[in-house]
């Protein structure tokens, strides 16, 4: 080896060493896998957890998903440049969808998922895209009084007292009429019982028509008797009417459900694991757990529950589909906001928010909302 060739060999060795180090670094960068919380948003496919939540997520059999939230995500995915692989976790499976995002089995969860402080600890949410809340669904005739209820109210203690006193007054007036008519009318000279029976019937006719017998009778006593009985009868009828009306009003107030304050002591149904269930549980209101609004509506139709408490948009959508099957009462309470869930720290959150803001700016979001829920008032 000559002295001239030695520097060339050293330079070649250094070059080979540098290239080797660069190759090892590139190989490491290609094989390192990101954690679920930092899944790159720039992927060709997004795994989206969802579940039936009409009208936000709809599905017939094994057909494609539909609904407001599904249509919204399709528009967002188009703007994000990703395709979608749906993970169906069943009806009203908010908790399961959030768990799938938290475990890394899904990149996104969208349905009708309410944003809460507790949920914010385990996943990140996009900006809210829908304002919601709870409402109450009751039978179509709730608050009205059925015929049997009206007849039953006649047996209320207050009404029975008025009826008993009225019967005594009629019996007393029948004796008065018997004393006044027994000499002039043969019908009152047929024995005591028959005469009193005719007197009772006469008193009823006087109360109803204000007359008894001939109108041109010259007897002052009979005229005064008939007028007095009629006035007494008017007072008795007015008293009984007022008592019955008061009884029916109290009954209606006791049976009507007009808002959340009327729920304690009622038979209530709601979807287990929902925000409505948490609301009822926090207030000590017992409820029948069900899996869908359709199931709750069936219980309502059979009068096995008095009310359904659930998200207002879902109840309003159901009532529109099944007109006459129930009525929504009271205002929206316990305000909620729906959002799109992503893993903690995911950069996808910012891209989704940007796309949502773009849709709101160009009017496409309001147009989509109007197709599903009508124009806002």
Domain boundaries, the chain: 33-129+339-373, 147-255, 260-336
Report pTM: 0.56
Residue range 352-359: average pLDDT?
Answer: 97
Least confident of 22-36, 193-207, 282-296, 363-377: 22-36
Least confident of 16-20, 92-96, 142-146, 365-369: 142-146
Of 21-30, 67-76, 295-304, give the range with the top mean pLDDT. 67-76
For position 36, what pLDDT does the model report? 41
Q: Do domains 33-129+339-373 and 260-336 have the same CATH topology?
A: yes
For position 39, what pLDDT does the model report? 43
Task: Give the 3-state secondary structure of the chain.
Answer: CCCCHHHHHHHHHHHHHHHHHHHHHHHHHHHCCCCHHHCCCCCCEEEEEECCECCCEECCCCCCCECHHHHHHHHHHHHHCCEEEEEECCCCCHHHHHHHHHHCCCCEECCCCECCHHHHCCCEECCCCEEEEEEEEECCCCCCCCHHHHHHHCCCHHHHHHHHHHHHHHHHHHHHHHHHHCCCCHHHCCCHHHHHHHHHHHHHHHHHHCCCCCCCCCCHHHHHHHHHHHHHHHHHHHHHHHHHHHHHHHHHHHHCCCCHHHCCCCCEEEECCCHHHHHHHHCCCCEEEECCHHHHHHHHHCCCCCEEEEEHHHHHHHHHHCCCCCEEEEEEEEEEEECCEECCCCCHHHHHHHHHHHHHHHCHHHHHHHHHHCCCC
pLDDT at 110 over 50: yes
For position 13, what pLDDT does the model report? 56
For position 76, what pLDDT does the model report? 97
Residue range 322-349: average pLDDT?
Answer: 90
pLDDT at 335 over 80: yes
For position 241, what pLDDT does the model report? 73
More confident residue, 206 or 100: 100
Residue range 151-170: average pLDDT?
Answer: 69
Whether CATH 3.40.190.10 fits 33-129+339-373: yes
For position 41, what pLDDT does the model report? 45
* CATH number for region 147-255: 1.10.287
What is the band of 252 on the pLDDT scale with cuts at 50, 70, 90?
very low
What is the band of 185 on the pLDDT scale with cuts at 50, 70, 90?
confident
Residue range 78-87: average pLDDT?
Answer: 95
Residue range 299-307: average pLDDT?
Answer: 87
Of 28-42, 286-300, 354-368, give the range with the top mean pLDDT. 354-368
What is the band of 129 on the pLDDT scale with cuts at 50, 70, 90?
very high
pLDDT at 373 over 90: no
Least confident of 162-166, 170-174, 264-268: 162-166
For position 20, what pLDDT does the model report? 53
For position 142, what pLDDT does the model report? 58
Whether CATH 3.40.190.10 fits 260-336: yes
What's the pLDDT tens digit per position in 142-153?
544 444 455 555
pLDDT at 178 over 90: no
Residue range 146-161: average pLDDT?
Answer: 59
């Amino acid at each position: 080896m000559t002295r001239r060739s030695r520097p060339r060999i050293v330079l070649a060795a250094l070059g080979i060493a540098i290239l080797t180090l660069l190759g090892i670094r590139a190989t490491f960068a290609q094989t390192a896998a990101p954690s679920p919380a930092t899944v790159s948003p720039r992927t060709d496919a997004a795994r989206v957890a969802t579940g039936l939540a009409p009208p936000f997520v709809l599905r017939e059999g094994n057909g494609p998903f539909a609904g407001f939230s599904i249509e919204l995500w399709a528009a967002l995915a188009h703007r994000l440049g990703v395709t979608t692989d749906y993970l169906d976790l069943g009806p009203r499976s908010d908790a399961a969808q959030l768990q799938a995002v938290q475990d890394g089995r899904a990149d996104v969860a969208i349905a009708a998922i309410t944003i809460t402080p507790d949920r914010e600890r385990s996943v990140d949410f996009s900006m809210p895209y829908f304002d919601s809340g709870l409402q109450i669904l009751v039978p179509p005739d709730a608050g009205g009084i059925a015929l049997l209820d009206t007849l039953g109210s006649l047996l209320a203690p207050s009404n029975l007292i008025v009826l008993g006193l009225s019967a005594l007054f009629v019996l007393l007036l029948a004796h008065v009429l018997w004393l006044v008519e027994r000499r002039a009318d043969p019908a009152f000279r047929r024995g005591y019982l028959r005469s009193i029976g005719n007197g009772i019937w006469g008193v009823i006719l006087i109360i109803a028509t204000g007359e008894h017998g001939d109108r041109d009778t010259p007897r002052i006593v009979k005229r005064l008797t008939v007028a007095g009985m009629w006035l007494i009868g008017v007072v008795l009828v007015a008293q009984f009417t007022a008592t019955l009306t008061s009884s029916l009003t109290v009954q209606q107030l006791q049976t009507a459900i007009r808002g959340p304050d009327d729920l304690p002591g009622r038979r209530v149904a709601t979807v287990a694991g929902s925000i409505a269930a948490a609301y009822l549980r926090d207030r000590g209101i017992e409820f029948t757990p069900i899996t869908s609004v359709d199931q709750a509506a069936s219980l309502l139709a059979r009068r096995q529950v008095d009310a359904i408490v659930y998200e207002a948009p879902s109840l309003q959508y159901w009532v529109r589909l099944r007109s006459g099957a129930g009525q929504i009462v009271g205002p929206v309470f316990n305000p909620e906001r729906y959002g799109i869930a992503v893993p903690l720290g995911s950069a996808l959150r910012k891209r989704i928010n940007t796309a949502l803001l773009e849709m709101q700016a160009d009017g496409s979001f309001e147009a989509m909302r109007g197709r599903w829920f009508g124009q806002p008032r």
